Amino acid sequence: MRSRITGATFAVSLLFLAAACSSQDGKVWMEHNTHFASGEHAFFSLKNNKNGSNPKVTRLDIEDSRNQNWWGIYPITVNQSQILQN
């Protein structure tokens, strides 16, 4: 009985996935498999209206965005020692 329920659930899940997502959607989802990219993203979304009306952006939101935008990317930039010494 339990295996039948498990099998049915699996089949329904497959049908749902097939109906709702194209292969491209699936690929994107697999690459970003959470709704929010981060805790900061979640907080920002929760404190502002879903339709984007009257959002409030604080300095911390900007700092969060800046940090997360650059995650994993290391820009090629001049070293401080090329310009100054302490």
Q: Which positions lie near other proteins, rule CB under 8 A?
A: 38-40, 42-43, 54-60, 62-64, 66-68, 73-80, 82-86
Spatial neighbors of 45 by CB under 8 A, at least 6 apart, are 36
Q: How far is the CB of 16 from other proteins (least distance, A)?
A: 25
Question: In this complex, which beta carbon is closest to other proteins, that of residue 6 or of residue 58?
Answer: 58
Give Cα separations from 19 to 6, 8, 62, 74 (angstroms).
Answer: 20, 16, 38, 40
How far apart are alpha carbons 11 and 55 in whole angstroms? Answer: 42
Question: In this complex, which beta carbon is closest to other proteins, that of residue 22 or of residue 75?
Answer: 75
In the chain, what's the furthest Cα-to-Cα distance? 75
Q: How far is the CB of 28 from other proteins (least distance, A)?
A: 18
Q: How far is the CB of 40 from other proteins (least distance, A)?
A: 5
